[in-house]
Amino acid sequence: MKLAKRVLSVSPSLTLGISARAKELRARGVDVVDLGAGQPDLDTPENIKVKGKEAIDRGFTKYTPTSGIPELKKAIAERLKQELGLDYSPQEIVVSCGAKHSIFNVLMALVEEGDEVLIPSPYWVSYPEMVKLAGGTPKFLRTTEEGGFKITPEQLRDAITPRSKVLILNSPNNPTGTVYAESELRAIAEILVEKGVYCISDEIYDKFIYEGRHVSIATMHGMRELTIVVNGVSKTYRMTGWRIGYAAGPKEVMQAVSKIQDHTTSNPTSISQYAALEALTGDQGEVTAMIRIFKQRRDFVVQRLNQMGIRCSPPPGAFYVFPKISQVWGEEVRDSMTFAQKLLEREAVAVVPGVAFGDDEYVRISYAAPLESLKKGMDRLERFVSFIRGQDKIDA
């Protein structure tokens, strides 16, 4: 069988691979602590579930407009206006089957063969693979822990070439938890405007901020027509399985995105759209409570990591920590994949190897898990770290 080159160039998701192995062990009765999850452990709020059921009972189960129902697009526009001060018309908003789908559609609309897409590293695993599928070339801008895992204006300017089409900016960031400040975004925006480079601003973790506040690069001078803001209900409202994301941007770009969606998925799920409308317009009390819970979890995990000798600063956003595990490597564990595999097989703790995000000296630990699970996971991780520090050989 001869597969298309675009598929052969794409790597499988390591995050999903670790998750699959953890599920396999759990199915065999192993008590696995999953610290690799990219979704909140808490259930979808009850008022949102009620609206989903109501949609089914009302027969709201047919096709909708490709770009989303008008009520939902209006709610998204009002949210962007209220929280970010950004004005978008319904024609500038497209609702898709998750934020990942939104990003892919935008890349398909903007990127041609030979175009470069600038991606700060560490990065979310799907960015480079989606760029490849769109025919573009990922170009990584390496960041450092010492620099807060942020690109600098000088670094961006040096990276831009005549082939550079898009910068993908993720703040708050997966996997590092980095949050860009307004002044940092302004400096980046000045260069993008000068060079005429688009920005896909992935803001899916916008409510998960523990220090500082969320600012969108779309609000910077000159960036309204160069930015496509991507968000959704998956993380904030614990609706990962409902698959609703959205993009807002220049009319011409969003019309192209809608055209692509016309011929691929058509509309996002009607029932999920109705539930998402309730998420955006209903009571927000559970969101506030969830963020308080997640901050407590973050502080606990960071404290435990530092106590076991893995230096880690509290990330200001998202719900991950990204500790440098090369600090504790031994003779038989000298890369993040081996670390993650051995930790899962030996101690039944699932984390995601940093190589999946572009940095092999780190792992991603999700604290989207109950505190009891986090305590158990940290105890097992500490035992594993002590083991690899004290042993020359590790059994497979």
Residue 17 has pLDDT above 80, yes or no: no
- Beta-carbon count within 10 A of 61 CB: 12
Mean pLDDT of the chain: 95
CA proximity to 123, closest of 95, 153, 155, 151: 151
Residue 330 pLDDT: 81
Name the pTM for this structure. 0.96
131: Cβ contacts below 8 Å, ≥ 6 apart: 107, 111, 117, 119, 137, 138
Average pLDDT over residues 253-281: 98
Domains in the chain with CATH codes: 5-43+285-388 (3.90.1150.10), 46-281 (3.40.640.10)
Q: What is the pLDDT of residues 306-347, one digit of tens each?
A: 999 999 999 999 999 999 999 998 888 999 999 999 999 999
- Please report, for residues 14, 170, 229, the alpha-carbon distance to residue 77 in angstroms, rounded to integers and kept in the order given: 35, 20, 11
Give the least confident one: 18-27, 32-41, 92-101, 264-273: 18-27
**Reported confidence tier of residue 104, pLDDT bands at 50, 70, 90:** very high
Residue 91 has pLDDT above 60, yes or no: yes
Average pLDDT over residues 339-367: 96
Alpha helix ranges (H) inside the chain = 5-8, 14-27, 46-57, 70-84, 99-110, 126-133, 153-159, 182-195, 251-262, 270-281, 285-307, 336-347, 371-390
Residue 19 pLDDT: 77
Residue 349 has pLDDT above 80, yes or no: yes
CA proximity to 223, closest of 113, 350, 84, 101: 84
Residue 391 has pLDDT above 80, yes or no: no
Share of the chain above pLDDT 90, in %: 91
**Reported confidence tier of residue 305, pLDDT bands at 50, 70, 90:** very high
Q: What is the pLDDT of residues 131-181, one digit of tens each?
A: 999 999 999 999 999 999 999 999 999 999 999 999 999 999 999 999 999
Q: What is the pLDDT of residues 200-239, one digit of tens each?
A: 999 999 999 998 899 999 999 999 999 999 999 999 999 9
Which tokens in the block code for residue 73? 């697009």
